[in-house]
Structure 1
Amino acid sequence: LATFSRRFGQEVNAAYRGKVEFTRAALNSTAIRLRSASWEDESCYICLFHMYPEGSKRRHTCLKVTGEPPELHAFSCSATGKPAPSIHWELPPNAAVENQTETSTSRNPDGTVTSSRSVTLRAPPLWSGGVDCVLNQGTGRERRHRITSRNQEVMTKGWFHISFSLLLTVASSSIIIIIIISGSWSFHQTLASSLFNQT
């Protein structure tokens, strides 16, 4: 992670710059602080002191990271065309990819081809970012579509739309049934009345 010496001073390995800082730096007492710890930082670390003429002394310490686990955000993109559209993802910087599928294709009866691809990202809780689905990248037919992480909203809207349509269908069917029953009852009453008058 980091080293301190009289000759070179404080040195932090490139991969940990911005995460590790010295809180105390002296030959007889050195301390570091780890900032913005992630799940990947959970491990055991060795603290090594080189002392002359005694040699090296080492101790180890283990870091346990606690907090809310990251959320998984799944994105999928499909496109239909002829020839088969290619699909690429443009992901946010430092995106943690949990899973990514290759593009799958299926041929349609009209000769067109539907291409589909999906990606799953790990993100902090309440992340509200998105990804770009790029179709036919690098060609004159290139198109891009922004997909946000608000999947729950889309699902809710879809459910509401289905419920509303179902409600309209049920209401329309009920009205038609009531009209048929009323018409049938009225017809029977008229028929019974005319038969009664004939006798």
Structure 2
Amino acid sequence: MGSEINGQFDSHKTLQALVWYAAVTLLCRAHVDIETKMNQKAEVGSNATLRCVLRKPHDIIQVTWQKKTSSSPENVATYQKNSSKVQNPYRGRLDITGTSLDDTAITFWGVRIQDTGCYKCLFNTFPAGSLGKDTCLTVYEPLRISVSYSLSEGHLMANCSASGWPRPTITWLGLENQSKKTEEEVSDLNGTVLVTSHLYINNSESLVGQNLTCSASSMDEDKISSVKVEGKWSHSVPVAVSVVCVVILLVVILIVVCWRRHKKKQSGL
């Protein structure tokens, strides 16, 4: 009796293993049959096309594009031989640009940061069922950086601003340990983030003639910007020299004029 139960149990496990193996094999084969670019990047405002090609012949009934979300997939567009439909959130800014059932593509016109994510192309076939593969889109805003400073009563405030997407990270080079740092960020309507880092330095005289340098990074991009600190004396010295030169010139002219007048008087006598 025990051997019969064990035999049935082993048969059940073997059947489960075969079903699991068949499912995995079918899934892997479906991924191999579909050709797509796994990861793409697009600048904000540019056009981006996602494409899938089903290499092996199948009887395709319908093609569906979905965006993967944390809860459930969101339908983007579907089409059959004689009809197509783009869902409301994408209507007017996305088109089905590859209408062959085995070579499908969707194009974003003026891509937005919110379009970042992974999308799945699904080929609904008969009798094999649904065959799909993921392709991911990363939307970015180019990194921009600037640095400035202001002096007030011996105190210096340095400002480094960086904008872009993904959110830029700012680092001050060589100044982190001798100053107080604050940071703020603002997002505009299209999702671009402006990050501004402020450094407050009490002893600004030690920085006169040196460079304030900050770096910013966003995704795979890094940029550095710097500005030279000029003390108030840098403007007053040239002015003082100019004033002295003018005074000396006036004195020389006055001496020459007086000398000529004196000479004329002597010759008149």
TM range (shorter): 0.3 to 0.5
Which of the pair has more CA radius of gyration? 2
Return the TM-score normalized by structure 2.
0.28
The TM-score, its normalising length taken from structure 1, stands at: 0.35
Q: Which has the higher strand share?
A: 2
